[in-house]
Amino acid sequence: MTTLVVVERTPDGIYELSLQALAFARRYAADQPLHALVVGESDGLEGVLGEHGVSTVHVAEHDAFSSYAPAAVARAVLDIMSRTETSAVVAAGNERGNEVLAHVAAIADLPFAANCIEATADHPALVTRVRWGGSLLEEARLHGAPVLMTVQPHSVAPDAVAGESARVERFTPALHEADLVMCVRERVGAATGGVSLADAKVVVSCGRGAGSPEGFGIIEELAGLLGGAVGCSRAVTMAGWRPHTDQVGQTGTKIAPDIYIACGISGATQHMAGCKGAKAILAVNTDPEAPILASADYAVIGDLHEVVPAISAELRKVRG
C-alpha cells in the first residue's frame, strides 16, 4: 500500500502547504512508501520531493494542466488510484486541495475529511479535523478506502528527511470534456507590493476601525516599512474597501506570520480562524474589552489613526 500526496508547485519549487501535507502523510503512514502527484511539469522537483520522503513522483502530463483545472487533477488522482494500491490521498487544506479532493470523493463515492490536524491509520481511520472556523475540533471515523484527507494549513510543520531523489513516473490521464469545464483562464496580479499574504513574515491588518478605504494608507505605509503584507477583516471586504484577496479568516486567507499587527479588528472567531497560526499578535484597538485582546500577545489601547503613524515614525527614526 502507498500514501499519495497531491503536490502543488510554485514557479520555483513546492508550495509550503504541500510540504506540510507531505509531513502529515508521512506521520499518518510511516511504514508505507510515500508517492506524490505533480501535474504539468516536474523539472527538478524530484530532488526536493525525495528530501521530504517521497519515493515516487507521478507526473501527469496533459495540455489541461497548463492552468488549474480541479476536475482534471482529480482524474489524475483517480488514475493513480486505479494503478496503485493507495491507502490514503492527502492534499493541502487550501481552496485548491479541498476542491480537488471533493471531486475525487464525488467521482469515487468516498468520504472525505477536510482540514485535518491529526489522523491515525486505523480501520476505519480516525481523524481530528477543524470545524466551524477553528472553534470546534471534531473526531471522526472515515469509512472507505482510500482515505481522503486535506491538512489544516500550518497545523503541521514541513519536515525534511535525508531521502534520495524520488523516482519519476510520467503518465497522461484520460480526461473527459466535463473535466475541463472549470479551469483558470486568466490571472490578474493583486497589488500586494510583491509580498504574498499567505507567506508574509509580517502582516499588518485593519478592520472596520480604518473608517474608510483611505484609512488603509497608514496601514500600507507600516506594512511597507516592515516588508510585510496588508491584510483586512471581512467587514472591510464587505464594505468594498479592499479586495477579497486581502481578507484574513475562515473565508479568507490563513496566515502564519512571525507577527500579526491587527488594527481596529474586533477578533471575531471567523477572523481568528485565519490568524491563529501567527507566532505573535499585536492588537491596536480603542476598546479594552475587544475579544482580540484575549489572543493578543501585545496590545495598544488607542486610536489606530494615531498609534499606527506613531509606530511608523518611530521606525523611521530608528532607521535614520
Distance CA 149, CA 152 (A): 10
**DSSP-assigned letters across all residues of 188-219:** ----STT--TTT-SEEEEE-GGG-SGGGGHHH
Q: Which is nearer to ligand FAD, 110 or 307 (CB)?
A: 307
Classified as helix, coil or strand, 90 is strand
Q: Which is nearer to ligand FAD, 78 or 301 (CB)?
A: 301
Q: Which is nearer to ligand FAD, 50 or 215 (CB)?
A: 215
Q: How far is the CB of 316 from ligand FAD (least distance, A)?
A: 21
Q: 215 phi and psi, to 5 degrees? A: -60, -15
Q: How far is the CB of 54 from ligand FAD (least distance, A)?
A: 33
Give the CA radius of gyration of the chain: 21
Residues that bind ligand FAD (CB under 6 A): 207-209, 233-236, 247-252, 264-266, 268, 270-271, 274, 284-287, 290, 303-305
Q: For the stretch 144-166, what's the b/e string if a residue is b when 16 or more beta carbons lie within 10 angstroms of its beta carbon?
A: ebbbbbbbbbbbbebeeeebebb
Q: How far is the CB of 297 from ligand FAD (least distance, A)?
A: 17
Q: Which is nearer to ligand FAD, 17 or 81 (CB)?
A: 17
Q: Which is nearer to ligand FAD, 111 or 309 (CB)?
A: 309
Q: How far is the CB of 246 from ligand FAD (least distance, A)?
A: 10
Q: How far is the CB of 96 from ligand FAD (least distance, A)?
A: 17
Give the CA angle between residues 221, 227, 229 to the nearest 5°.
Answer: 75
